[in-house]
Amino acid sequence: MSEKITSAPLEDEKAIHSQYEHAPELEHGDDPKKPKYAANTQLDDAARILAEAGEFEYTAAQAKRVLRKIDLYVCLPMCLTYFVQQLDKSSVSYAAVFNLQKETTPELVGSQYSWLTSVVYLAQFVCQPLSAYALIVVPVKYWVMFNYICWSVVTMCTGAATNFTGLILARFFLGCFEATILPSFVLITQMWWTRREQSYRTIAYQIANSMAAIIGPLLSYGVGRAAVTATSVKQYQVIFFAMGALSLFLAPIVWFLMPNSPTTAKFLRNGDDRIIALDRLKENNTGTKSSTFKWSQVWETYRDIKTWAWAAMWFCAACPSGGIGAFGGLITKGFGFDTFTSILMQIPTGAIGITGLLIGIYVTNRIKMRWPVLAVIVLFPIAGAIGLTQVPRTQPNALMGCYYVAFVFSCIQPLLISWCNLNAAGTTKRVVTTATMFAALTIGNTVGPQVYLASEAPQYPTGLYVDIGCWCVLELLIIWMGFYLARLNRSQEAKRVALGLPADIKDMSIMSTAEADAYKVELAEMMRRAGMDYGKATEGSFDDLTDRQNPHFQYVV
pLDDT in the model for residue 12: 41
What's the DSSP call for residue 281? G
Average pLDDT for residues 353-370, to the nearest whole number? 90
When comparing pLDDT for 207 and 528, which is higher? Answer: 207
| 16 located within any domain | no
Nearest to residue 454, comparing CAs of 334, 550, 344, 356?
Answer: 334
Task: Sort 166 into a burial class: Cβ within 10 Å, 0-12 / 13-18 / 19+.
Answer: middle
Residue 13 counted as domain residue: no
Q: What is the 3-state secondary structure (H, E, C) of 414-440?
A: HHHHHHHHCCCCCHHHHHHHHHHHHHH
Average pLDDT over residues 144-163: 94
Contact present, 288 and 194 (Cβ < 8 Å) = no
18 within a domain of the structure (yes/no):
no
How confident is the model at residue 281, as a pLDDT? 78
Question: What pLDDT score does 401 carry?
Answer: 95
160 inside domain: yes
Who contacts 473 (Cβ-Cβ below 8 Å, separation ≥6)? 312, 316
- Residue 391's Cβ-count burial label (10 Å; 0-12, 13-18, 19+) is middle
Residue 490: Cβ within 10 Å count: 11
Are the C-beta atoms of 50 and 519 separated by less than 8 Å?
A: no
Task: Return d(Cα 495, Cα 489) in angstroms, integer.
Answer: 10
514 contact partners, CB below 8 Å, separation of at least 6: none
Q: Is 492 helix (H, G, I), strand (E, B) or coil?
A: helix
What pLDDT does residue 288 have? 54
Q: What angle do CA 445, 211, 473 make, to 5 degrees?
A: 35
pLDDT tops 80 at residue 383 = yes
- In the chain the first and final C-alpha atoms are separated, in Å, by 37
471 pLDDT tier (thresholds 50, 70, 90):
very high
The CA distance from 152 to 138, in Å, is 21
Q: Over 90: is that where the pLDDT of 524 sits?
A: no
Structural domains of the chain, count: 1
Which contacts (CB < 8 Å, 24+ apart) does range 405-408 have?
405/380, 405/381, 406/324, 406/380, 406/381, 407/324, 407/328, 407/349, 407/352, 407/353, 407/381, 408/352, 408/356, 408/377, 408/380, 408/381, 408/384
Q: What SS3 class is residue 440?
A: helix
Give the pLDDT band (50/70/90) at residue 32: very low
Q: How many residues does the chain have?
A: 557
Residue 516 has what pLDDT? 75
Nearest Cα to Cα of residue 65 among 282, 273, 279, 281: 273
pLDDT band, very low/low/confident/very high, at 285 (cuts 50, 70, 90)? low
Residue 183 has pLDDT above 90, yes or no: no
Residue 98 CA, chain-centre distance (Å), reads 31
Query: In this prediction, what percent of the chain has a pLDDT beyond 70?
Result: 87
**212-240 per-position pLDDT tens digit:** 888 988 888 888 887 766 667 888 898 99
In the predicted structure, residue 14 carries a pLDDT above the cut 70: no
d(Cα 417, Cα 187) in Å, to the nearest integer? 12
List the domain range (segments joined by +) for residue 481. Answer: 62-262+297-488
Comparison of pLDDT for 492 and 476, the residue scoring more: 476
Determine the residue type at 199. S
Strand partners, 6: 57
Q: For the segment 291-314, what is each residue's pLDDT rounded down to a tens digit?
A: 667 888 889 999 999 999 999 999
Q: Which of the two residues, 478 and 344, has the higher pLDDT score?
A: 478
In-domain check, residue 369 = yes
**Is position 522 within any domain?**
no
Average pLDDT, the chain: 83
**DSSP at 89:** H
Contact criterion met (CB below 8 Å) for 513 and 196: yes
CB contact at 8 A, 184 and 132: no
279 has pLDDT over 60: yes
The answer to whether the bond into 217 is cis (omega within 30° of 0) is: no
What's the pLDDT tens digit per position in 504-522?
Answer: 778 776 777 777 778 778 8
Backbone angles phi, psi at 381, to 5 degrees: -65, -30
| pLDDT number for residue 290 | 57
Mean pLDDT of 478-499: 92
Task: Compare 484 and 132 and report the one with higher pLDDT.
Answer: 484
Q: What is the DSSP letter of 35?
A: B
In a domain? residue 175: yes
Confidence of residue 550 (pLDDT cuts 50, 70, 90): confident
Closest CA to 283 of 1, 5, 3: 5
**Distance, CA of 113 to CA of 449 (rounded, Å):** 9
The predicted model gives 394-419 an average pLDDT of: 92
How high is the pLDDT of residue 486?
Answer: 94
pLDDT digits (tens, 9 = 90+) for 70-103: 999 999 999 999 999 989 888 888 888 888 888 8
pLDDT at 374 over 70: yes
pLDDT for position 19: 40
Helix (H, G, I), strand (E, B) or coil at 6: strand
pLDDT band of residue 22 (cuts 50, 70, 90) is: very low
Task: Look at residue 33 in the predicted model and tell me its pLDDT.
Answer: 43
458 dihedral zone (left: phi>0; alpha: psi -120 to 50; beta): alpha
Q: What is the structure's pLDDT at 407?
A: 93
In the chain, % of residues over pLDDT 90: 38
Coil vs helix vs strand at 481: helix
Classify residue 73: in a domain, yes or no: yes
Residue 422 maps to which CATH number?
A: 1.20.1250.20
